Amino acid sequence: MSDDEDYDSEDILKQCLAAASSSSSTNIRGDAPQSEKRKRELWKRQQLAKEEQDKAKKAKKEKAREAVTTLEKGLSTAIEPTNKGFQLLAKMGYEPGKALGIQPNARTEPIKPIVKANRFGLGKPEEENKKHEKLISEMQERASKREEMLVDFRSQKSQLLAEKIISRDLSNAQKACRTQDVEAGMVEPRIPWFWPLKPPDETDVQDEEESEEETLSDGEKLMEITEYLRTLYNYCVWCGIRFEGPSELDGECPGNSREAHD
C-alpha cells in the first residue's frame, strides 16, 4: 500500500472483509466435519452393539425353548423294548400297561416331572397363582357389590318415582272428588281427606278422623277415593270423564288403576 492510499478507502475495506470471511470459513470447514463424523461413528457402534445384544437374547431364548421341548418330548416318550432297563423289568415279570410291584392298583405310568423354564424358586409360580386368584376374587366381589348397590339404587329410584306418581294421582282424585261433590250440592267432604287439604289455619278435623288418615297410605287413599267416585258418580280419574251409567263405565273404562290405562 502506498502512502497516497487512504485507510478509509473502499478498496481497503473490501480487502479486510475478504480476509476475515476466508479465515472464518477455514475454521468451520476444518472443525465441523470432524465432530459430525465422530458422532456418526459413535451412533453406528451403538446400533451395532444393540443389534448384537438383541440377537444374543433371541438366540438364548430360542435355545432354552428348544431344550424344554426336547426334554418334554423325551419324558413323554415311553421306554422302548431295546432299553436295558426295560429288558431287566421284563425279566422280573413286568408287562407293558400293567402296574409295577405286587399291588394291582399301583401306578401304571411314571410320575411326570415339571420342567422349569424360568429362574423362579420352588413354589414361586404357585404363590403368584394364589395372588392372581385372590385378586380376581376380590375384583369379582367388588363387582358383585357394585351390582347390588346399582340394583338397590334402581329399586329406590323406581320406588320414589312410583310414590310421586301415586301422590300426583291422589291430588287429582281429591280435586275431582271435590268438584263432583260440589256439583252434587255437598258443602263438606264425606271424609276430610277426600278433598284437597285446607291450610293449617282452616282445618277443623276430629282426632278420630286424623288418626284414621294417618293409618292409611297414599295408595290406599287413592283406591278409596276412586272407588267412591266410580260408585257414586260413575267417574274415572284416569279417563277424566263422567260416564252415563255403570254399564258404560264398565264397558268404556279399562279399569280402576293407572296400569290398566297405560
**If you average pLDDT over residues 77-101, what whole number do you get?**
82
Question: Is position 226 within any domain?
Answer: yes
DSSP assignment, residue 194? G
pLDDT at residue 201, as a whole number: 54
pLDDT at residue 205, as a whole number: 47
Question: Is position 114 within any domain?
Answer: no
Q: How confident is the model at residue 53 (pLDDT cuts 50, 70, 90)?
A: very high
Provide Rg for the chain, Cα atoms: 51
Question: Is position 169 within any domain?
Answer: yes
State the distance between the two ends of the chain, measured CA to CA, in whole angstroms.
116
Question: Is position 201 within any domain?
Answer: yes
pLDDT digits (tens, 9 = 90+) for 27-45: 444 445 678 888 888 999 9
| Type of residue found at 57 | K
Q: For residue 243, what are the contacts with CB-CB under 8 A and spacing of at least 6?
A: 234, 235, 236, 249, 252, 253
Name the pTM for this structure: 0.44
pLDDT at residue 234, as a whole number: 93
Let me know: does 233 contact 180? Beta carbons within 8 Å: yes
pLDDT at residue 178, as a whole number: 92
Q: DSSP H helical segments within 77-123, as ranges? A: 84-91
Question: Is position 194 within any domain?
Answer: yes
Question: Is position 200 within any domain?
Answer: yes
Q: Give the residue among 101, 108, 106, 112 at the shortest CA–CA distance from 77.
A: 112
Cell numbers standing for residue 91? 425279566
pLDDT digits (tens, 9 = 90+) for 152-191: 888 888 889 999 999 999 999 999 999 999 999 999 998 8
pLDDT at residue 94, as a whole number: 80
Quick one: what percent of the chain has pLDDT higher than 70? 79
Cell numbers standing for residue 38? 465422530
Strongest mean pLDDT among 65-69, 194-198, 248-252: 248-252
Determine how β-strand 241-242 pairs with β-strand 235-236. Answer: antiparallel
How many domains, in total, are found in the chain?
A: 1
**202 strand-pairing partners:** none
Which range of residues forms the domain containing residue 198? 165-261
Question: Is position 133 within any domain?
Answer: no
Question: Is position 35 within any domain?
Answer: no
Buried b (16+ CB within 10 A) or exposed e, 214-225: eeeebeebbbbb
Q: How confident is the model at residue 26 (pLDDT cuts 50, 70, 90)?
A: very low
